[in-house]
Chains A and B, each alone.
Chain A
Amino acid sequence: MTTAARTGLTDVELAAVRADFPILDRTLRGGRRLVYLDSGATAQKPQVVIDAEQDFYERRNAAVHRGAHQLAEEATEAFEQARAVVASFVGADTDELVWTSNSTSAINLVAYALSNATAGRGGAAARRFALAPGDEICVTVAEHHANLVPWQELAARTGAVLRWIDVDEQGRLRLDQLAEQVTERTKVLAFTHASNVTGAITPVAPFVARAREVGALTVLDASQSVPHLPVDLHALGVDFAAFTGHKMLGPTGVGALYGRRELLADLPPVTTGGSMVEVVTMESATYAPPPQRFEAGTQMVAQAIGMAAAADYLSELGMDAVYAHENHLAALLLAAVEPIEGVRVIGPTDTVDRLATVSVVVDGVHAHDVGQVLDDAGVAVRVGHHCAQPVHRRFGAVSTTRASASVYTSEQDVAAFGEALAGVRAFFGAEVR
Chain B
Amino acid sequence: MDAMEQLYQQVILDHARAPHGRGLPADAPGTTAVATVGHDTCSGQSHQVNTTCGDEVTLRVDVDLSGEQPVVRDVRWEGSGCSISQASISVLHDLVTGADLETVGAVSTTFRALLGTRGAGLDDEAAEDLLGDANAFTGVGKFPARIKCALLGWAALTDALILAGVPGTPAEATR
Interface residues of A (CB under 8 A from B): 29, 365-369, 372-373, 376, 383-385, 389, 392, 398-399, 427-429, 431-433
Contact = CB atoms under 8 A, between A and B. Distances in A.
A143 to B, nearest CB: 16
Q: Place the interface of chain B in its size category.
A: 20 to 34
B3 to A, nearest CB: 7
Contact of B86 (A384, A385, A389, A433): A433
A366 B4 contact: no
A29 B3 contact: yes
A203 B7 CA distance: 45
B78 interface: no
A372 B143 contact: yes
A389 B55 CA distance: 11
Contacts of A399: 53-55
A431 to B, nearest CB: 7
Contacts of A432: 13, 16-17, 83
Given A366-B81, A372-B146, 5 more contacts: A366-B83, A367-B53, A372-B4, A384-B53, A399-B54
Nearest to B7: A372
B52 interface: yes
18 contacts: A368-B53, A368-B55, A369-B83, A372-B7, A372-B143, A372-B146, A376-B4, A383-B53, A384-B52, A384-B53, A385-B53, A398-B54, A398-B80, A399-B53, A399-B55, A428-B8, A429-B17, A432-B17
Nearest to A376: B4
Contacts of B80: 366, 398
B54 A384 contact: yes
A38 to B, nearest CB: 13
Contacts of B55: 366, 368, 398-399
A371 B53 CA distance: 12
B34 to A, nearest CB: 24
A391 to B, nearest CB: 12
B149 A368 contact: yes
Contacts of A392: 54
B96 interface: no
Given A29-B3, A372-B4, A429 B13 contact: yes
Contacts of A376: 3-4
Among A366, A383, A428, A431, max chain B CB count under 10 A is at A366
Among A368, A428, A429, max chain B CB count under 10 A is at A368
Contact of B17 (A373, A398, A431): A431
A384 B143 CA distance: 16
Given A398-B80, A399-B53, A429-B13, A373 B3 contact: no
A427 B13 CA distance: 10
B37 interface: no
Contacts of A369: 8, 82-84
Contacts of B13: 428-429, 432
Q: Which 5 A-B pairs have the closest CB atoms?
A: A366-B82, A368-B82, A384-B53, A385-B54, A399-B53
A365 B143 CA distance: 18
Interface string B60-94: 00000000000000000000111110100000000
A373 B4 contact: yes
B136 to A, nearest CB: 15
Interface in B1-40: 3-4, 7-8, 13, 16-17
Contacts of B8: 369, 372, 427-428
